[in-house]
Structure 1
Amino acid sequence: MPSETPRRFTFLLLNRFTLMPFAAAIEPLRLANRASGVAHFSWRLVGPAGDVATCSNGTSVRLDAGLDSEAPVGRGDVVIVCGGTEIAREATKPVLNWLRRQARGGAAMGAVCTGAWILAEAGLLDGRKATIHWENHDGFAEAFPEVDLFRSVFVHDGNRMTAAGGTASVDLMLHLISETLGDALTAEVADQLLHTTIRSDQDRQRLSIPTRIGVRHPRLSTVIARMEANLEEPISPAQLASDAGMSARQLERLFRRYLNRSPKRYYMETRLARARNLLMQTEMSIIEVALASGFSSPSHFSKCYRALYGSTPYRERGTGSASKAGQV
Structure 2
Amino acid sequence: MPSQRPRRFTFLLLDRFTMLPFTAAIEPLRLANRASGQTLYEWRLVGPSGDVATCSNGTRVLLDGGLEDEAPPGRDEVVIVCGGTDIAREATRPVLSWLRRQARGGARIGAVCTGAWILAEAGLLEGRKATIHWENHDGFAEAFPGVDPYRSVFVQDGNRLTAAGGTSSIDLMLHLIAEDHGDQIAADVADQMLHTAIRTEQDRQRLSIPTRIGVRHPRLAAVIARMEANLEEPISPAQLAQDAGMSTRQLERLFRRYLNRSPKRYYMETRLARARNLLMQTEMSIIEIALASGFSSPSHFSKCYRAQYGSTPYRERGTSAPRGKEAPRGKDSLTSVNQTLTC
Q: TM-score, normalised by structure 2?
A: 0.92
- Measured at CA, do residues 110 and 252 of structure 1 come closer, stay the same or move farther in structure 2, by a change above 3 Å? same
Partner of 1:314: 314
Q: Distance in 1 between matches of 2:98 and 2:147?
A: 21
* 1:74-130 Cα distance to aligned partner (Å, 9 max, x none): 222000000000111111111111001111011110000000000100001111110
> Which amino acid in the other structure matches residue 305 of structure 1?
Y
* 1:3-34 Cα distance to aligned partner (Å, 9 max, x none): 11100000000000000000000000110110
Is the deviation greater in 179-188 or in 3-12? 179-188
Cα offset, 1:299, TM superposition: 1.1
Partner of 2:100: 100
* 1:117-151 Cα distance to aligned partner (Å, 9 max, x none): 00100001111110000000000111100011100
Structure 2: give runs of 5+ residues left out of the alignment: 321-343
Partner of 2:335: none
Partner of 2:12: 12
Secondary structure, counterpart of 2:101 in structure 1? helix
* 1:234-289 Cα distance to aligned partner (Å, 9 max, x none): 00011111111111111111110110100000000000000011111111111111
Partner of 2:177: 177
Cα offset, 1:70, TM superposition: 4.9
Residue correspondence of structure 1 range 71-220 to structure 2 within 5 A? 71-220=71-220
Q: Distance in 1 between matches of 2:188 and 2:133?
A: 27
Partner of 2:326: none
- Measured at CA, do residues 193 and 297 of structure 1 come closer, stay the same or move farther in structure 2, by a change above 3 Å? same
Secondary structure, counterpart of 1:64 in structure 2? coil
Structure 1: give runs of 5+ residues left out of the alignment: 321-328
Is the deviation greater in 101-110 or in 63-72? 63-72
* 1:186-229 Cα distance to aligned partner (Å, 9 max, x none): 11111111111000001000000000000001010000000000
Q: Distance in 2 between matches of 1:134 and 1:38?
A: 37
Residue correspondence of structure 1 range 161-310 to structure 2 within 5 A? 161-310=161-310
Cα offset, 1:173, TM superposition: 0.2
Cα offset, 1:318, TM superposition: 1.2
Secondary structure, counterpart of 2:318 in structure 1? helix
Cα offset, 1:314, TM superposition: 1.1
Is the deviation greater in 147-156 or in 69-78? 69-78
Q: Distance in 1 between matches of 2:52 and 2:272?
A: 38
Partner of 1:53: 53
Contact 1:10 1:73 in 2 (8 A): no
Asked which structure has the greater CA Rg, the reply is 2
> Which amino acid in the other structure matches residue 7 of structure 2?
R
Alignment RMSD, CA only?
1.1
> Which amino acid in the other structure matches residue 224 of structure 2?
I
- After the TM superposition, which segments of 4 or more aligned residues of structure 1 sit over 6 Å from their partners? none
Secondary structure, counterpart of 1:68 in structure 2? helix
Percent of pairs with identical residues:
84
Higher relative contact order (CA 8 A, sep 6+): 1
Is the deviation greater in 264-273 or in 275-284? 275-284
Secondary structure, counterpart of 2:50 in structure 1? coil
> Which amino acid in the other structure matches residue 197 of structure 2?
T
* 1:157-206 Cα distance to aligned partner (Å, 9 max, x none): 11000000000000000000010111111111111111110000010000
Q: Distance in 1 between matches of 2:15 and 2:43?
A: 19
Secondary structure, counterpart of 1:65 in structure 2? coil
Partner of 1:326: none
> Which amino acid in the other structure matches residue 106 of structure 2?
G
Q: Distance in 2 between matches of 1:47 and 1:181?
A: 29
Q: Distance in 1 between matches of 2:119 and 2:298?
A: 33
Secondary structure, counterpart of 1:34 in structure 2? helix
Secondary structure, counterpart of 2:69 in structure 1? coil
Q: Distance in 1 between matches of 2:51 and 2:234?
A: 50
> Which amino acid in the other structure matches residue 28 of structure 2?
P
> Which amino acid in the other structure matches residue 104 of structure 1?
R
